[in-house]
Structures are given as C-alpha cells and as structure tokens.
C-alpha cells in the first residue's frame, strides 16, 4: 500500500509544482490526491508540468476529486444531468493526468451540501437515482479505462455496509470501486466504542470491491447528546490496526490517503498512522518504477 495525503497543496491540481511534490515526499508520502476545480479541456502544458513534478519527486499520481456537489441524487433532472456530466468529465481528466481513480461523491438531498443529512437520503427513490447516475458514470469510466471510487457515510444514501453492498450489486460495473472511509459510518455510541465491529462488517461486505481508502480518526465529544468529531489519527477511537490489516489483505496496492486535516496537523496524523502500521507489522510500499 502507498501512504498518501489529501492536502499539502495550495490550491487545485494546476498549482502543483516540483516544490509541492518534494514537500509531500519529504513528509514521507508517496502519493497525493489532486483536487480539480475544472476538468474540462485541461491545458496539455499544465498536464505535462504536473506529471513531471510528480515524477521528479518519485510520487505516484493519486486519486482525483471534482467539485460537482451532491447532485447525483437530485430530483431535478437538470441538476442531476449536470452532475453526471461533470463526473464524466472527471473520468476523462483522470485518464489524461494518469490518476489512480476518481472519487464519486454519492450526494444528498440537502441543498446545503453533499455530506449533510436529509430525511429522504435513505429512501428507495434517492437510492435508485444514485444507482442510475452511477451506472452512466461507470460506463464513461469504462470507456476512459479508469476507475470510480464511491464513498459512503451515515448521513448519505449509502448509509451502512449493507446498503453500500446493495449499491454495488445494483450498479454491477467493474469500473466501480469502493473508497474505504470507516469514520464516515460512526452513527451512534455503540459503534463509536466498538469500531472493530464496524470495520469487520465493512471489509466483510465491501473488501472485494475496495480500491482505495481515506485515513482518519474520531473522538466522542462530552455532552448529553451523542456527538462525534474528527481528531488526529492515533488520538481517537478508530481501530487503526484492524483498518490497515484488513486494507492490506483486501487491496495490497491501495493508496491510503490521510485527509480532513489542516497542513500543520498532517505530520502528527502521519506518525499516528505509521505507529499503527508498525504495531500491525505493515510496511508501506514505494511507488513502482
């Protein structure tokens, strides 16, 4: 597995230079997520410059992620069509840049954001719209020769391991892979205090389609009502050793990306994840020549 990061970049993919990639490499990472604000018609000279920056630092180009929001499940067909087309453009961009996969955000009916809850997110109608959108995007990915990596979470339409497994069975495409991000499924106190059970369930049901992962951690906030927040890896409750062990078994060539942290906290998160890897007897790989 390659240790990577979603961060340490001052902007989107066009801002990546040799200075950026050498800093990323200096932190001990071997791959970097690319954020893409506009995937349409990437400038060939910029593509070459970014590819050269990765190569010069010995990095592998990692996951790409676009900014199409939560519209894949919208009940407004024009909004949903725009989101599908944006995702199709992301698959073309990923082929051009040479990325490992492109991230598929399942979306939400909440107009305030793709990762905000809404009572309809668990409905069959929303699930069916997501499946329909994902099938079309999967065909585009297949045509481009790239993979999609969908992620789930308790507030979105893919709210559990079993519901996410239903999604894969319904889409039924070899171009659709799973982005393992277990912190997204922390739904209650019972799960928070037994994250190992959650991890075993996720990998048992989705390990066969897992192609990438986001590494995070979480803690329980003191209060009358249950509330959880992300924390630096190693300072929270997620069973990182089981996470890495099952990832290694499911997908030994996966990119594992530390995400959702400000740049100044990334080194501490890296150390926390490396400590868990050492306890599990796992060594990170170097990029292929």
pLDDT band at 286 (very low <50, low <70, confident <90, very high): confident
Residue 288 domain-assigned (yes or no): no
Instruction: Please check whether residue 284 lies inside any domain of the structure.
Output: no
Cβ proximity of 24 and 59 under 8 Å? yes
Residue 10 inside a domain? The answer is: yes
Contact 217, 238 (CB under 8 A): yes
User: Closest Cα to residue 214, out of 26, 38, 1, 16?
Assistant: 1
Let me know if residue 267 belongs to a domain.
yes
How many angstroms separate the CA atoms of 132 and 125, rounded?
A: 11
User: Who contacts 85 (Cβ-Cβ below 8 Å, separation ≥6)?
Assistant: none
pLDDT band at 228; cut points 50, 70, 90? very high
Q: What is the pTM of this model?
A: 0.94
Residue pair 31/100 in contact (Cβ under 8 Å)? The answer is yes
> Would you say residue 135 lies in a domain?
yes
Residue 257 lies in a domain: yes
- Assign residue 229 the CATH number of its domain: 3.20.20.150
pLDDT band of residue 289 (cuts 50, 70, 90) is low
Q: Which two tokens stand for residue 158?
A: 């893919």
User: Domain span at residue 249?
Assistant: 2-279
What is the tens place of the pLDDT at every residue in 93-152?
999 999 989 999 999 999 999 999 999 999 999 999 999 999 999 999 999 999 999 999
Can you give the pLDDT at residue 68? Answer: 85
Is it the case that residue 63 has pLDDT exceeding 80? yes
Residue 59 domain-assigned (yes or no): yes
Domain tally, the chain: 1
Instruction: Place 259 in a pLDDT band, splitting at 50, 70 and 90.
Output: very high
Listed in sequence order, the residues at least 6 apart from 42 whose beta carbon sits closer than 8 Å to its beta carbon are 93, 96, 97
287 assigned to some structural domain:
no
């Amino acid at each position: 597995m390659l240790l990577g990061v979603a961060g340490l970049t001052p902007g989107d993919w066009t801002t990546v230079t040799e200075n950026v990639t050498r800093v990323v490499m200096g932190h001990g990472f071997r791959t970097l997520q690319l954020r893409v604000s506009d995937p349409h018609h990437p400038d060939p000279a910029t593509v070459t410059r970014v590819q050269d920056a990765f190569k010069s630092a010995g990095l592998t180009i990692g996951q790409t992620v676009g900014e199409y929001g939560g519209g894949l499940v919208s009940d407004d067909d024009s909004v949903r069509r725009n989101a599908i087309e944006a995702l199709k453009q992301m698959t073309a961009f990923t082929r051009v840049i040479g990325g490992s996969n492109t991230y598929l955000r399942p979306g939400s009916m909440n107009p305030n954001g793709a990762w905000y809850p809404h009572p309809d997110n668990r409905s069959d109608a929303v699930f069916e719209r997501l499946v329909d959108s994902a099938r079309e995007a999967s065909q585009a990915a297949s045509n481009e020769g790239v993979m999609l990596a969908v992620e789930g979470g308790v507030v979105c339409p893919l709210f559990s391991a079993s519901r996410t497994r239903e999604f894969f069975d319904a889409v039924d495409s070899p171009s659709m892979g799973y982005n393992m991000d277990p912190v997204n499924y922390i739904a209650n106190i019972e799960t928070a205090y037994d994250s190992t059970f959650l991890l075993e369930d996720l990998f048992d049901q989705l390990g066969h389609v897992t192609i990438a992962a986001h590494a995070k951690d979480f803690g329980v906030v003191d209060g009358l009502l249950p509330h959880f927040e992300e924390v630096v890896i190693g300072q929270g409750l997620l069973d990182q050793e089981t996470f890495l062990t099952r990832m290694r078994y499911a997908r030994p060539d996966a990119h594992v990306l530390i995400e959702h942290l400000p740049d100044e906290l990334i080194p501490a998160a890296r150390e926390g994840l490396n400590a868990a890897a050492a306890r599990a007897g796992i060594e990170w790989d170097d990029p292929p020549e």
